[in-house]
A and B are shown apart, each in its own frame.
Chain A
């Protein structure tokens, strides 16, 4: 990183990768949808008490085309899985997936005929958050881990 004078203006120079990742990780807009009880905790994390906005994640987008992160908050039933897949496919690159709670990580309490045994059966999951349901602090921690991952990894 460098600071130079160019004519009358002060110019900050840095690698394009660093700036891209810096802007990506500080404006992680989640996709606004929930599947089960974890969604209630996710809503709570967005509201005033836990206030995810402090970390640049405040704007829950109702359209997948404007979202960066898919927070899979809850049990994915086999009937719901095609809809989740479709939402993921509609999101623009770069995109990340966070599996929130035991059900999204592994099927959780439901090793049954009706439930997908973990989001990673059909989606590339970046962060797994344990808990049943995961508390808002855990979700925020997971999203901060995602920010660290974006910082660490190659630019997408």
Chain B
């Protein structure tokens, strides 16, 4: 996937773009995630039919603090794209991608578990890795290594 093709398809949503060793990364706003992903999935030249990863990022002390990173793959064309969405700490919430890719279900649960980022419209936003009675979100950079609870 080249930046030129991406600009042609979703240019109006792209805030920043970057290409490193043929890996293309685009940064978009939170509100654009659903329209952008719809285009990337449905468009004939893109057909990103596989959400290969979705993960969080804590950039403390920078602002905006969080980022959600989506890695898309097309089984048809064997090409990839990375989408980054910055999120403010005070409002770490983003639309869930489960309506587009079922793979998003557990990936978003992991992201919620580790960073506390909430995915609106997710069918089952529970913790997935840590125990249910756990307090806090362990991959946040200000999370104490030995845990916030003493037990």
Which A residues contact B (CB, under 8 angstroms)?
Answer: 78-79, 111-114
Contacts and interface: CB of A to CB of B under 8 A. Distances in A.
A113 B147 contact: yes
B145 A78 contact: no
A112 B136 CA distance: 13
Contact of B146 (A78, A79, A111): A111
Contacts, number: 23
Nearest to A77: B131
Contacts of A112: 145-147
B138 A78 contact: no
A interface secondary structure, majority = loop
A79 B145 contact: no
B134 to A, nearest CB: 7
Nearest to B149: A113
Interface of B: 129-131, 134, 136, 138, 143-148
A28 B134 CA distance: 37
Nearest to A79: B131
A113 B131 contact: no
Contact of A111 (B129, B136, B138, B145): B145
A143 to B, nearest CB: 31
A16 B138 CA distance: 55
Which of A78, A111, A112, A113 has the most chain B CB atoms inside 10 A of its CB? A113
A113 B148 CA distance: 8
A13 to B, nearest CB: 52
Contacts of B144: 113
A76 to B, nearest CB: 12
A13 B136 CA distance: 63
A111 B146 CA distance: 6
Contacts of B131: 78-79
Nearest to A80: B131
A45 B147 CA distance: 35
Contacts of B129: 79
Contacts of B148: 113
Contacts of A113: 134, 136, 138, 143-148
B147 A79 contact: no
22 contacts: A78-B130, A78-B131, A78-B134, A79-B130, A79-B131, A111-B145, A111-B146, A112-B145, A112-B146, A112-B147, A113-B134, A113-B136, A113-B138, A113-B143, A113-B144, A113-B145, A113-B146, A113-B147, A113-B148, A114-B130, A114-B138, A114-B147
